């Protein structure tokens, strides 16, 4: 709306939410993410302060500070199954509206938001979702949430609605023509198939699905190491490794990747270690991996917590466990997309991690013995190993495929 152009709607909304959040009880800051994220913000500031663009260093608090604040408010506000279910339905409703907007945009060329098609064919939205890849990422993480709502529905009409909504989202991903988004969808599908069909049947059905997607008129069937876009990605990964080698501690500075190379990294992990160095990458990876681990731990736990747990607690835990598997699938989809897209700092990541942390906090409060508080010291060694292993993997891939 032209009349609202320039009006700071999102900052004002965030401030209003913060005021209400201050009055909310039961805030729990016992988990490492509440330290890791502010430290990451500090390292971003230092990385810019040490770069040739030091004058822009204070801008990082304005750029990334809202993500930190939103994560803290959201994760500390989710304590019940109902709150998580509502959050997922809100996210699902938003992405459904975005998909409908994209379908309308694909016919008219300009959606009701005024957003135009990217490259003449790829649907977009406005603001932080103005890139078709970001839009696809939002669609991908919402898919498991649609499936959760469908399986939780009691009536046939409701189940049909959520199924139709899922198909709409899938069509929206197709219209974004995002290869990372499509690979994310395939990965989520394979995980779902494996849990229901087993590894062998999953492999057969997954192969058929992959062949089917490859036959669609999308950019996915052009994905190989010799294709120009893929070669550019590998070249950019190589440049990211060079930046890390030259500036190993704090990188080239947040947002400065394209100052050293004409293309972005096309990989969230490369972007993080190139811009933030080993120190910042360790913090970023710790935050991400620990959130991933939390929902993995809940999802893999035995449904019989202990002999003293009553049937009501067992039923409640079963609901938490189902939500954890939903978040796990969403995190897997994000990770696959992030490997092909430069989305290290997007708000979608921090919303998703807030859901994961909020879930673990709720489970920890109810069953502290089975799900104790996580001490970062016991997790740091694993993340350090993961940090260097991921860098080495990128190095091997570049050396093999470039």
What per-residue confidence (pLDDT) applies to 384?
Answer: 95
Is residue 178 within 8 A of residue 220, CB to CB? The reply is no
The number of beta carbons lying within 10 Å of the beta carbon of residue 304 is: 9
More confident residue, 237 or 194: 237
3-state secondary structure of 345: coil
Which are the contacts of 353, defined by CB distance < 8 A and separation ≥ 6?
33, 71, 75, 287, 288, 291
Q: For residue 81, is pLDDT > 90?
A: yes
Q: Which pLDDT band holds residue 211 (cuts at 50, 70, 90)?
A: very low
Instruction: Give the closest residue to 124 by CA, choosing from 108, 147, 142.
Output: 108
3-state helix, strand, coil in the chain (%, to 5): 75, 0, 25
Residue 286 token pair: 């710790």
Average pLDDT, the chain: 87
Helix (H) or strand (E) holding 379: helix 376-401
What per-residue confidence (pLDDT) applies to 6?
Answer: 81
Q: For residue 307, is pLDDT > 80?
A: no
Helix (H) or strand (E) holding 90: helix 81-108
Is residue 115 within 8 A of residue 121, CB to CB? The reply is no
The number of beta carbons lying within 10 Å of the beta carbon of residue 355 is: 27
Q: For residue 8, is pLDDT > 60?
A: yes
Is residue 72 within 8 A of residue 358, CB to CB? The reply is no
Helix (H) or strand (E) holding 299: helix 268-300
Poorest-pLDDT segment among 57-66, 170-179, 202-211: 202-211
What per-residue confidence (pLDDT) applies to 225?
Answer: 43
∠ CA(51), CA(53), CA(55), 5° rounding? Answer: 120
Residue 13 token pair: 């909304």
Is residue 84 within 8 A of residue 72, CB to CB? The reply is no
What per-residue confidence (pLDDT) applies to 140?
Answer: 95
Q: Name 122's bridge partners.
A: 118
Q: Name 116's bridge partners.
A: 110
Is residue 222 within 8 A of residue 244, CB to CB? The reply is no
What per-residue confidence (pLDDT) applies to 209?
Answer: 53
pTM value? Answer: 0.89
Instruction: Give the closest residue to 149 by CA, choosing from 140, 138, 139, 161.
Output: 161
Percent of the chain with pLDDT strictly greater than 70: 88
Poorest-pLDDT segment among 203-207, 256-260, 313-317: 203-207
């Amino acid at each position: 709306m032209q009349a609202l152009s320039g009006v700071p709607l999102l900052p004002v909304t965030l401030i209003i939410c913060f005021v209400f959040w201050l009055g909310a009880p039961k805030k729990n800051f016992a988990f490492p993410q509440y330290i890791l994220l502010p430290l990451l913000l500090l390292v971003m500031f230092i990385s810019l302060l040490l770069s040739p663009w030091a004058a822009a260093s204070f801008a990082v608090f304005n750029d990334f500070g809202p993500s930190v604040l939103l994560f803290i408010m959201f994760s500390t506000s989710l304590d019940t199954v109902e709150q998580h279910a509502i959050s997922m339905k809100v996210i699902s409703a938003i992405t459904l509206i975005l998909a409908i907007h994209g379908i309308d945009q694909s016919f008219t060329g300009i959606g009701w938001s005024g957003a135009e098609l990217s490259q003449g064919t790829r649907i977009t939205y406005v603001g932080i979702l103005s890139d078709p890849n970001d839009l696809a990422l939002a669609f991908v993480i919402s898919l498991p949430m649609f499936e959760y709502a469908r399986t939780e529905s009691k009536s046939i009409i409701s189940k049909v609605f959520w199924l139709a909504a899922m198909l709409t989202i899938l069509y929206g991903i197709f219209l974004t023509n995002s290869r990372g988004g499509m690979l994310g969808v395939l990965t989520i599908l394979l995980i779902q198939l494996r849990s229901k069909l087993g590894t062998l049947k999953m492999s057969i059905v997954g192969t058929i699905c992959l062949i089917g997607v490859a036959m669609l008129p999308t950019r996915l069937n052009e994905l190989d190491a010799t294709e120009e876009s893929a070669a550019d990605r590998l070249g950019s990964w190589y440049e990211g490794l060079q930046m890390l080698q030259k500036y190993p501690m704090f990188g080239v500075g947040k947002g400065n990747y394209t100052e050293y190379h004409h293309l972005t990294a096309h990989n969230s992990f490369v972007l993080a270690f190139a811009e933030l160095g080993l120190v910042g990458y360790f913090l970023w990876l710790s935050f991400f991996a620990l959130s991933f681990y939390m929902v993995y731990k809940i999802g893999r736990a035995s449904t019989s917590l202990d002999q003293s747990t009553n049937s009501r607690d067992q039923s409640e835990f079963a609901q938490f466990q189902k939500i954890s598997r939903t978040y796990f699938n969403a995190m897997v989809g994000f990770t696959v997309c992030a490997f092909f897209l430069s989305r290290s700092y997007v708000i979608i990541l921090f919303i998703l991690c807030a859901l994961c942390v909020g879930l673990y906090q709720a489970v920890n409060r109810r069953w502290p013995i089975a799900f104790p508080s996580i001490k970062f010291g016991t997790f740091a060694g694993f993340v350090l190993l993961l940090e260097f292993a991921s860098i080495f993997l990128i190095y091997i891939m570049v050396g093999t495929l470039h």
